[in-house]
Chain A
Amino acid sequence: MSFTAPSDPVNKPTKVKVSQLCELCHSRKALIRRPKNLSKLCKQCFCLVFETEIHNTIVANNLFQRGEKVAVGASGGKDSTVLAHMLKLLNDRYDYGIEIVLLSIDEGIIGYRDDSLATVKRNQQQYGLPLEIFSFKDLYDWTMDEIVSVAGIRNSCTYCGVFRRQSLDRGAAKLGISHVVTGHNADDMAETVLMNILRGDVARLEKSTAIITQSSGSPIKRSKPFKYSYQKEIVLYAHYMKLDYFSTECTYAPEAFRGTAREYMKNLEAVRPSCIIDIIQSGENLALKAKKSNARKRVVKFVDGNRCARCGYLSSNNICKACMLLEGLEKSRAQVAIENDTSADGAALKLRALEKLSF
């Protein structure tokens, strides 16, 4: 009986079935189902499609001007890391002629933001982009950990949202940059459209899907090149491009009501993956009726470009939201403090410590 050599299980060439092929090129093995439409794609097609779609969004909306200095709001998370990588890549590939700067805000959440800022610093080295960091402590004399210890965890997103938005503008203004780009993606956009309808936030309804936002009195404009990019696709792209990002969620609880809207969208996606884009399409076509003028009512007209009487930042009211929140916080600030007290250091630090425990 002759000897038959066993087949090599390691170097055996894998045979690709026709049904496993990419639905676009039909010539490479499909690795993923594209979250946007569930089409089966290979890595090359997915990356090309993802990059080109963002380029198309930038060009169609005329987001950048040649010679413009653009600040990327960088948190170290997946969205902003992919955004920084993508802008650098597309700027080189299509020659937008823009100058990119990473702009980070340190909210002062020990155990969370300090770790994510370390990622941003690595990104700075990897992409060779300049980085500027502004902190809540320097701008407002409060850290988020201190704010949460005073105002409670339930309101954390309100304070953080208002201060971070203003900090990005202030930071960009200090650097002489008039364009801030953020990593808001299609999921964020769709969620905002739904939230505005569910909460009846009529004032924000029409503008909730704008890709560029700018007040007439402000030198800073903001844009969202990921407006039509699915969050899952951003994560997949970061994974395939082996990007270095910080993947932990903020330890301060997300808003409960927003959580219900997220859960609802998750269920919808299971039935119709295109629903995120569909919601954005709907959002772009929502128009409000003209208000009936009421002669008896004293109408206080909103003036775009109005400034806060205290800090000079843009505000629709006499005092801006950040100054109002700060005023409330100052009233609650402890008069006497223990030296080197770390009790205000937030839950994030404890969580980090727990994560490092091993048995």
Chain B
Amino acid sequence: MECQRCPASARNPATVESRKEKFCDECFIKFVSTKQRKQMMKDEYFRNLFKVIYPFEKEGSVSKILLPLSLSDSGSLVMLDIVHDLLLEQTKQHNNRTGFTVDVLTVFTEENVSVIKERMESLINEKMSQLNKISNIFNVHFIDVNEFFNNASEVSTFIIDNENFEIFSKSKSVDDSNILTLKEILGKYCLNNSSRSDLISIIKTQLIKHFAYENGYNAIMWGHSMTKLSEVIISLVVKGKGSQIATFLDSESFDTLNNKPCKYKNLYPMKDLLSVEIESFLQIRNLAQFLINVEETNVKPNCLIARKSLPSLGQQKLVKNMTINEITNKYFQDIQNDYSNIISTVLRTADKLTQPKSSMAKPSQCQICQSKIYTNPSNWLNRITVTSPYPVETTEEKYLFKQWQDSKLGQSHTHYVELLNEIKQGASNSLDVEDGDVKLCYGCLILLNTSIKDKNLVWPKVDTMDITANATNNNKELSQILDQFEINSDGEE
């Protein structure tokens, strides 16, 4: 079997088969790189960001790109590898100059901090040492996921009224005694894996976007493959966040954070590549060693010819323990053979979507996930759900009701009612909360109502976060990003 892309005179043996075409290693790497670079040159804004502009002294000639790197996801690692090659090419062609600088940002948790540090060190030393020697082109940053909670001076407690789905909130300032942590939030409030995964995803995205906002980046390069994007799109629909699809995929407009315009645009350079292609690239370039859970990664489906007969050894989870994203991922894997074009169709369809018309009196933003709110979710739910009971009629029913009131169950209900009343009271007394303010989007309201204990959640107030910080505050935040983990351009720790 020969590569179909090599010149006829010197065909190499094929190692990869993708999209009904056979590739040798070299041609496949070129195929993947070209797909990514095409996206990086998709419009004038991004062309100007990535190409080398003369004269160098001109202000803004070198743009700043943020590349969030997740070591548990192949997409961002492959993207980094291709961007690294592009930067090396530019340094060779333009006398150690490049059109852009890349800042890699990795969000870590308490549990994976040591393994992330170790893998990142070996990645920099083994793969990126050449570029790392040239100053200010390539920087690595680490951020603790708990910074999301440490950064806010106030937190809000949101609670859903179980009778009419209205959302009430009460704010309080944060001091050393009541700083939240991710562990606490996930353990204390979340009732299932899906809600945990949703909250982690929201926190990580917010952290990355805040980092980009504060440090004046021109673009965030997300490592989502076509498969991953399709999964996210369907998951958004399933979670009642369909209205956010257009904003999520938007690469044409500047992002907004807490209603403030940002200087960066979001880019998905891997959106033309399937996850199986990314996995194959990872194997060919021997990058899997830098991922966390590398054993699992080795058996992920890919399109390497030599690996075709290997069975998928992915751990079978019970559906009840899976997250919505995992179920969607499984669905795509199951139908991939019979309906191969589904993944690209979903993405193509989603690309045709725009933001829906808003029925809100004033623009509102969800105070948990920061997405725009287009309809009042409480009203919508209230209109289609009845929560009033059939009247208590007989003596026996009255007796049972009294028993329930006196029981522990009744008291825990009373506890919820007391908390609700307390927050309602606080909200009406609070000057900074306007009546009729819609605080949460439909997706987050449902999350609280169905998957969060006692329908209440404490969350940092984004507008009290230090997002308009100047350089000094900026450094203050960065100094909190565990200095010992920051690798500067000279490769020092």
Which of A83-91, A192-200, A313-321 lies at the interface with chain B?
Answer: A192-200
Q: Does A282 contact B (CB under 8 A)?
A: yes
Instruction: Tell me the bound Cα distance from A26 to B404 in angstroms.
Output: 6
Interface 1/0s, chain A 194-225, versus B by CB < 8 A? 10011110100100000000000000000000
Residues of B within 8 A of A274 (CB): 240, 446, 449-450
Instruction: Tell me the bound Cα distance from A38 to B410 in angstroms.
Output: 19
In the complex, the answer to whether A25 meets B389 with C-beta atoms within 8 Å is yes
Q: Does A158 contact B (CB under 8 A)?
A: no
CB distance from A176 to the nearest CB of B (A): 33
**Docked complex: A13-54 residues within 8 A CB-CB of B:** 16, 18-19, 21-22, 24-28, 36-37, 42, 44-45, 47-49, 52-53
Interface 1/0s, chain B 376-409, versus A by CB < 8 A? 0100100111111111100001101101110101
Q: Does A4 contact B (CB under 8 A)?
A: no
In the complex, the answer to whether A25 meets B319 with C-beta atoms within 8 Å is no
In the complex, the answer to whether A272 meets B450 with C-beta atoms within 8 Å is yes
Which listed residue (B192, B409, B442, B449) contacts A281, Cβ 8 A?
B442
In the complex, the answer to whether B237 meets A282 with C-beta atoms within 8 Å is yes
Residues of B within 8 A of A94 (CB): none
Residues of B within 8 A of A270 (CB): 319-320
Residues of A within 8 A of B405 (CB): 26
Which listed residue (B237, B327, B385) contacts A194, Cβ 8 A?
B237
Q: Does B173 contact A (CB under 8 A)?
A: no
In the complex, the answer to whether B404 meets A53 with C-beta atoms within 8 Å is no
Residues of B within 8 A of A174 (CB): none
Given contacts A202-B349, A260-B334, contact A53 B384 (CB under 8 A): yes
Between A193, A257, A287, the greatest number of chain B beta carbons within 10 A of the residue's beta carbon is seen for: A287
In the complex, the answer to whether A45 meets B390 with C-beta atoms within 8 Å is yes
Which listed residue (B350, B374, B384) contacts A197, Cβ 8 A?
B350
In the complex, the answer to whether B236 meets A282 with C-beta atoms within 8 Å is yes
Instruction: Tell me the bound Cα distance from A45 to B388 in angstroms.
Output: 8
Chain A interface SS verdict (over half): helix
Chain A interface size, as a band, is 35 or more
In the complex, the answer to whether B335 meets A25 with C-beta atoms within 8 Å is no
In the complex, the answer to whether A28 meets B397 with C-beta atoms within 8 Å is yes
Q: Does A63 contact B (CB under 8 A)?
A: no
Which listed residue (B194, B355, B386, B400) contacts A56, Cβ 8 A?
B386
Instruction: Tell me the bound Cα distance from A36 to B449 in angstroms.
Output: 12
**Docked complex: A257-285 residues within 8 A CB-CB of B:** 257, 260, 264, 267-268, 270-275, 277-279, 281-285
In the complex, the answer to whether A282 meets B242 with C-beta atoms within 8 Å is yes
Given contacts A27-B400, A56-B384, contact A264 B237 (CB under 8 A): no
Residues of B within 8 A of A163 (CB): none
Which listed residue (A18, A49, A283) contacts B386, Cβ 8 A?
A49
In the complex, the answer to whether B234 meets A286 with C-beta atoms within 8 Å is no
Q: Does A338 contact B (CB under 8 A)?
A: no
Q: Does B13 contact A (CB under 8 A)?
A: no
In the complex, the answer to whether A289 meets B353 with C-beta atoms within 8 Å is yes
CB distance from A16 to the nearest CB of B (A): 6
Instruction: Tell me the bound Cα distance from A60 to B324 in angstroms.
Output: 31
Residues of B within 8 A of A156 (CB): none
Chain B, Cβ-Cβ closest to A49? B386
Instruction: Tell me the bound Cα distance from A279 to B243 in angstroms.
Output: 11
Chain B interface size, as a band, is 35 or more
In the complex, the answer to whether A282 meets B389 with C-beta atoms within 8 Å is no
Q: Does A57 contact B (CB under 8 A)?
A: yes
Residues of A within 8 A of B363 (CB): none
Which listed residue (B319, B339, B451) contacts A267, Cβ 8 A?
B319
In the complex, the answer to whether A44 meets B390 with C-beta atoms within 8 Å is yes
In the complex, the answer to whether B389 meets A287 with C-beta atoms within 8 Å is no
Instruction: Tell me the bound Cα distance from A283 to B385 in angstroms.
Output: 18
Residues of B within 8 A of A199 (CB): 345
Which listed residue (A24, A197, A272, A279) contacts B387, Cβ 8 A?
A24
Residues of B within 8 A of A60 (CB): 383
Q: Does A288 contact B (CB under 8 A)?
A: yes
In the complex, the answer to whether B397 meets A279 with C-beta atoms within 8 Å is no
Interface 1/0s, chain B 210-245, versus A by CB < 8 A? 000000000000000000000001101111111101
In the complex, the answer to whether A198 meets B345 with C-beta atoms within 8 Å is yes
Chain A, Cβ-Cβ closest to B334? A260
Instruction: Tell me the bound Cα distance from A281 to B374 in angstroms.
Output: 11
Residues of A within 8 A of B283 (CB): none
Which listed residue (A19, A45, A202, A257) contacts B389, Cβ 8 A?
A45
Instruction: Tell me the bound Cα distance from A232 to B239 in angstroms.
Output: 20
In the complex, the answer to whether B327 meets A271 with C-beta atoms within 8 Å is yes
Chain B, Cβ-Cβ closest to A28? B397
Q: Does A252 contact B (CB under 8 A)?
A: no
Chain A, Cβ-Cβ closest to B348? A200
Instruction: Tell me the bound Cα distance from A16 to B394 in angstroms.
Output: 15
Instruction: Tell me the bound Cα distance from A53 to B382 in angstroms.
Output: 10
Q: Does A228 contact B (CB under 8 A)?
A: yes
Which listed residue (B242, B331, B345, B401) contacts A286, Cβ 8 A?
B242
Between A56, A194, A264, the greatest number of chain B beta carbons within 10 A of the residue's beta carbon is seen for: A264
In the complex, the answer to whether A267 meets B327 with C-beta atoms within 8 Å is yes
Residues of B within 8 A of A283 (CB): 237, 242
Instruction: Tell me the bound Cα distance from A27 to B404 in angstroms.
Output: 8
CB distance from B17 to the nearest CB of A (A): 25
Task: Report which A residues bind B (CB closer than 8 A).
Answer: 16, 18-19, 21-22, 24-28, 36-37, 42, 44-45, 47-49, 52-53, 56-57, 60, 193-194, 197-200, 202, 205, 228, 256-257, 260, 264, 267-268, 270-275, 277-279, 281-290
15 contacts between A and B (CB under 8 A): A18-B409, A53-B385, A194-B237, A197-B234, A198-B234, A200-B345, A268-B327, A271-B322, A271-B323, A272-B194, A278-B446, A282-B236, A284-B375, A288-B353, A290-B354
Task: Report which B residues bind A (CB closer than 8 A).
Answer: 192, 194, 233-234, 236-243, 245-246, 319-320, 322-324, 327-328, 330-331, 334-335, 338-339, 342, 345-346, 348-350, 352-357, 374-375, 377, 380, 383-392, 397-398, 400-401, 403-405, 407, 409-410, 442-443, 446, 449-451
